[in-house]
Structure 1
Amino acid sequence: MPLYTHLPTSIDAVDVIIAGGGTSGCVVASRLAEADPNLSILVVESGPDNYGNPMILHPALFITHWAPGSNTMKLFKGRKSEALANREPIVPVGRGLGGGSSVNLLMYSRAQRSDLDAWKMPGWSANELLPYMRKLETFHGEGAKALHGYDGPIHVSSGTYRSLRAENAFIEAATHVGWKEFEDLGNLDSVGGVQRALRYVSPDGKRQDTAHQYLHPMLRDGGYPNLHVVVDSDVDRVVFEGQRASGITYQEANGSSRTVKAKRMVIVSCGACGTPPVLERSGVGNPKILEKVGIKSISELPGVGDSYQDHQLISAIYKSNLSRDETLDGIVNGNFDIPAMIQNNDKLLGWNCMDVTCKFRPNDDEAATLGDDFLEVWNRDYKPHPDKPLSPGLSDALDFDPGIYGDAGDIDIKVSRWGYKNQREIARRMDIYRGEVPSCHPPFSTEDDMLIDKWLRENVATTWHPLGTCKMAPREENGVVDETLSVYGVTGLKIADLSIPPSNVGAHTNNTALTIGEKAASIFIRELGLAQ
């Protein structure tokens, strides 16, 4: 099995290097290997191998990844913000093969049509991306057959358990106040209601991360000897020969530095927080910033690291009369015997504790009651797009979770509201350099960036799903529009991860990361002249 913690010294050059083995990176690697098993590929991942890890395989155990000391999460800390009562926001991201798909909350959620069309990128509209959304999934839910896939690597189902008493009560309450129950909120257009949630969980209750569903099968079947993966290794920078990306330098698990050449292509897929530092350490970015730390500019791209966008999480917790087996609180408070549950294949293990998903927006009359500042944003960004869920400071999606991931006595219902950032053109640098040590410090927001009410300021301290830090922009050369995810000013260097969306989406971003991986792979396969 060509998976290493220390890459053999005999491997000093490959055709394609993928810097980062996260959600999109695993998709790209496996699709390239599938297109041509003779193509030599190296994936370099900073985190651990996840193969067969029960804490990853069993959806209910996602809670364990958020515990202090977890080696499958990396926590980026933002700047102190007056909007957070001078606190520092925390941005948790997945660390290890599969990235966020290996540790996330597994909610199946697609972007809206207007979200994707707003990117204004040729080849990346909602209609053009739908085939890739279908390609990645095996869908076990309700909905129009033409909108879903039925033979892809990622299973989408209800898993093995639902807390039906709580789920039914929530939906009944929602419909009582006028919100519709949908059978498919993932059809790109529906909004204004609730749905019995589907998950990235197989019908037999296993997590559908991209490492296990795309990459590991190829690493283990012996048919892809030219697909190499090295874990526990931090990518430092891209190496250039003139203006051509010719390889990478990375730090091995033992701390030694290693350089491997790429004969045909380097693909950076380190995520919205990880890709900008790699590029800037390589000389790709804003020259004024690079000069401060003595890095020679290779390509002048001031936008690298700017335009950070995110989803903010706020939660309200309620008392309930749910029984011990109707929540996942026992995993956190120690009342569940997890080894015995695994041995007995307990049905609760195939549950992610998220049973209802919603997409809401007010009508015009309701919007008019929320103040002049809100109304200005509403009229500009939302009213023209009737499919667009509300965002700044409110909710793009509301998830109902029977379980609070902690010990709070008999209070065990959590309702989470996800608000995604205002799409105004306000640059927010990621401050990737502090002194001489490159590090990522994503911002939160200030008063000119987001409509944040007093409750939000006092309660929010966590952001999720960052994107947009290396956003795509349309470019035309010789009358042909380039959609190849190229880095301007250099050759042989591509980006494929959540750093590329020009604007945010009204959904959990795992589906967007998967779709980017599939679309990017198709582009690279074509550019490399491989058969599809």
Structure 2
Amino acid sequence: MPIVSYAQLANATLDYVIVGGGTAGLALAARLTENRDIQVLVVEAGADHGEVPEIDTPGNIGRTIGNPTFDWKFVSVPQKHAHDRVVIQPRGKGLGGSSFMNYLIMLRPSKEELDALEQDFGNEGWNWESLLHYMKKGETLQPSGLSEAQALEYAVQPNPDMHGKDGPLKVSFPCVLNDMHRRFFDAAGRLGVPRNPGAANGTNDGAVTSLLSLDSLTGRRSYAVDAYLAPALPRPNLLVLTHAQVTRVLFETDGPVPRATGVEFVQGGQVRRVEGVRRDVVLTAGTLQTPHLLELSGIGSRELLTQHGIETLVDLPGVGENMQDHVGIATVVEVETEDDTMDALRDDPAVLEKHTRLYQEEHSGLLATVPVPAFVFPSADFLGNRSDIDAWKEQAKAQCTDSLARAVPALRAGLDKQYEVLRKLLSDEHQVHAEFIQFNGHQPNPNSLPEPGKRYSTIICLLTHPFSRGSVHAASGDPLAAPAIDPNYFAHPADLELAVHMVEGALALFGTAPLRETVRAPKMPPAAALARGRDGLRDFVRDNCRPVYHPVGTAAMMPREQGGVVDARLRVYGTSGLRVADLSVMPLELSCHTQSVAYAIGEKAADMLKAEWS
């Protein structure tokens, strides 16, 4: 059925209401409605954006960020460990959610990280084998078209058995593989990080050319709308309501625990309701909005809810806590290269005309791909020596948990468990603890502007397993107000030291042949910061850190006594008929770009609910 109006819901009998038409939500809705007897409504706060170049054209990545048509435009609270900066926290607004505004990267976590969900956090059925099945189920791998020599040079040799063949999401390799990309990999190899041509197999350390959520046959982004929603829309048992911002979940409270029966939302300035849901309300609003909705619905810390005049239905202090994100810092150099870069695309009309023609006629060129094809994933021993690693492991112990967990016993217990897992990962020489992303040009940065006519290369440094923990909470009782988002960057002292080591690692890559031969002049960090040594780099990191848009953890799938919010069946503790199925359930940050896991959560949740159907 097409997208519906509120009036068309008047006689609808609903089994499930899915709150949030984003990455996981649309995957869940599409798979659930494969069963014609299951009636599903998706409620989305944003619009159906349709076909627009800001979304569809891969080379336009970043243009939706900060645009209120597409972006919620959230910002953090001032970050006291990062010079009190307020930092943007972009999230996709509209059908497709952040799957329409991400950088298309399709990487996977390590086997050990996903196995920890079951082995360490007690979530039966959540492990590498299970989530690999769903990551494969959701994708179709398209051939690269590279020669054997090119495939070897650019580490593009995927094992077909590790990938899907008939899933809805199209995944392909970049169509532009240039000289700077090859030099980046060669420099990493000389520093002890070899190419990894099969990074999707659960071992993700090494130099990697990423798969992209991109249909190479059309040159367009492949995302939750065209992959999952569009084929499912003709089904009469799928209803989609847009421009409807859910403000709370509705409950019956006459049983042993509150039972979710519907949602309240604002559409066109009017408060409206959908009630009588026969099965479940499923929150798929994401790491920044799912905990906010839980709190607005009376589920969260009694102390916090009371402050905002919200009646507490379930005292669940883990809601909104445990926020983690990959913190990133960009390093930039001016380069001499014959490669076309994003700088040339911006500065030279002839280059833009050439690549526009290539895109329109051949689905090739810079507009048909993304400027971040090359990744280096090192283990901890790339960042520091044995004494450094031992110090980081020592810091991942209980003496740091009180302040980070607000001294709430359940939160402290959960953080201790997470730190136990982090210590194991630090001890494994094949686990990834940083990421270096090569951006083909000067990545946009408010603290550094490119000079017209010059060409640049950026290495974005990304901390994959932050020790710090932040939070997302209601800022008031106003359901339409944005949540208070506190990533709490560098609250744990180890994160700042790791970030400084990462910047030094990026500078080492720029300083190693054959990448070194292209470098004309450094740009970021500035010379003044470099002259002050590590003290200068610490200030540089505080001034320039930003999210890499992979937040997790705010409705963690852990035991309730450890600060968890949902169980292994994704049911919210202390309720019935209410579940969460998005990245907020991941208790620990992952060493990958997270959209692959978001889709897998939606796929797995659908099978869970189908198995319960009778």
Query: TM-score of the superposition, structure 2-length normalised?
Result: 0.77
Distance 1:22 1:444 in 2: 22
Alignment match, 1:18: 18
Q: Is 2:192 the counterpart of 1:178?
A: yes
Distance 1:203 1:352 in 2: 12
Rate the CA distance shift 1:526–1:365 in 2: closer, same or farther, 3 A: closer
Once the two structures are TM-superposed, the CA of residue 507 in structure 1 deviates from its matched residue by: 0.8
Distance 1:387 1:255 in 2: 53
Q: Is 2:231 the counterpart of 1:217?
A: yes
Distance 1:313 1:439 in 2: 24
Q: Is 2:494 the counterpart of 1:420?
A: no
Rate the CA distance shift 1:165–1:151 in 2: closer, same or farther, 3 A: same
8 Å contact kept, 2:557–2:585:
yes
Alignment match, 2:326: 311
Once the two structures are TM-superposed, the CA of residue 5 in structure 1 deviates from its matched residue by: 6.0
Alignment match, 1:247: 262
Once the two structures are TM-superposed, the CA of residue 10 in structure 1 deviates from its matched residue by: 2.7
Alignment match, 1:347: 364
Q: Is 2:380 the counterpart of 1:362?
A: yes
Q: Render the CA deviation track for 1:142-182: whole Å, top value 9, x for unaligned.
A: 333332221111122114x2142221121222222222111
Rate the CA distance shift 1:521–1:331 in 2: closer, same or farther, 3 A: farther
Alignment match, 2:487: 444
Alignment match, 2:74: 76
8 Å contact kept, 1:367–1:374:
no
Alignment match, 1:398: 436
Distance 2:162 2:360 in 1: 37
Distance 1:279 1:112 in 2: 30
Once the two structures are TM-superposed, the CA of residue 414 in structure 1 deviates from its matched residue by: 1.5
Once the two structures are TM-superposed, the CA of residue 326 in structure 1 deviates from its matched residue by: 2.2
Q: Is 2:112 the counterpart of 1:97?
A: no
Aligned residues: 509
Distance 1:374 1:342 in 2: 47
Q: Render the CA deviation track for 1:465-491: whole Å, top value 9, x for unaligned.
A: 111000012589xxxx96310111111
Distance 1:90 1:195 in 2: 28
Rate the CA distance shift 1:482–1:376 in 2: closer, same or farther, 3 A: closer
Alignment match, 1:202: 215
Alignment match, 2:28: 28
- SS class of match (1:236): strand
1:59 partner letter: P
Q: Render the CA deviation track for 1:203-227: whole Å, top value 9, x for unaligned.
A: 22221111110111221xx3x0121
Q: Is 2:443 the counterpart of 1:387?
A: no
1:40 partner letter: Q
More helix by share: 2
8 Å contact kept, 2:296–2:474:
no
- SS class of match (2:466): coil
Q: Render the CA deviation track for 1:300-354: whole Å, top value 9, x for unaligned.
A: 211110111111121111222345x722346656843698676545513320112
Alignment match, 2:408: none
Rate the CA distance shift 1:244–1:401 in 2: closer, same or farther, 3 A: same
8 Å contact kept, 2:328–2:463:
yes
Distance 2:135 2:169 in 1: 10
Rate the CA distance shift 1:115–1:142 in 2: closer, same or farther, 3 A: same
Q: Render the CA deviation track for 1:472-522: whole Å, top value 9, x for unaligned.
A: 12589xxxx963101111111111001101111011111111111111111
Alignment match, 2:414: none
2:249 partner letter: V
8 Å contact kept, 2:265–2:271:
yes
Rate the CA distance shift 1:7–1:501 in 2: closer, same or farther, 3 A: farther
Alignment match, 2:136: 134
2:459 partner letter: V
Instruction: Give the one of 264, 279, 294 matched to 2:294.
Output: 279
Q: Is 2:442 the counterpart of 1:411?
A: no
1:389 partner letter: V
More strand by share: 1
Once the two structures are TM-superposed, the CA of residue 449 in structure 1 deviates from its matched residue by: 5.7
Q: Is 2:248 the counterpart of 1:237?
A: yes
Runs of at least 5 residues in structure 1 that lack an aligned partner in the other structure:
none
- SS class of match (1:272): coil
Distance 1:100 1:459 in 2: 23
Structural mapping, 1:31-180, within 5 Å: 31-34=31-34, 36-66=35-65, 68-119=66-117, 120=121, 121-140=123-142, 142-159=157-174, 161-180=175-194
- SS class of match (1:179): coil
Distance 2:79 2:107 in 1: 30
1:403 partner letter: G
Distance 1:267 1:247 in 2: 10
Instruction: Give the one of 503, 518, 524 matched to 2:609.
Output: 524
Rate the CA distance shift 1:28–1:364 in 2: closer, same or farther, 3 A: closer
Distance 1:328 1:95 in 2: 26
8 Å contact kept, 2:380–2:389:
no
1:229 partner letter: V
Q: Render the CA deviation track for 1:438-479: whole Å, top value 9, x for unaligned.
A: 432221324436521403113214452111000012589xxx
Distance 1:368 1:340 in 2: 52
Distance 1:384 1:232 in 2: 48
Structural mapping, 1:322-341, within 5 Å: 322-323=337-338, 326-329=340-343, 335=349, 336=352
- SS class of match (1:155): strand
8 Å contact kept, 1:20–1:45:
yes
- SS class of match (2:106): coil
Once the two structures are TM-superposed, the CA of residue 24 in structure 1 deviates from its matched residue by: 0.2
Which range is displaced more, 483-492 or 167-176?
167-176
Once the two structures are TM-superposed, the CA of residue 377 in structure 1 deviates from its matched residue by: 4.7
Distance 1:80 1:469 in 2: 19
Once the two structures are TM-superposed, the CA of residue 32 in structure 1 deviates from its matched residue by: 0.3
8 Å contact kept, 1:30–1:214:
yes
Runs of at least 5 residues in structure 2 that lack an aligned partner in the other structure:
143-155, 397-421, 501-537
8 Å contact kept, 2:108–2:204:
no
Alignment match, 2:510: none
Rate the CA distance shift 1:56–1:365 in 2: closer, same or farther, 3 A: closer
Once the two structures are TM-superposed, the CA of residue 415 in structure 1 deviates from its matched residue by: 1.2
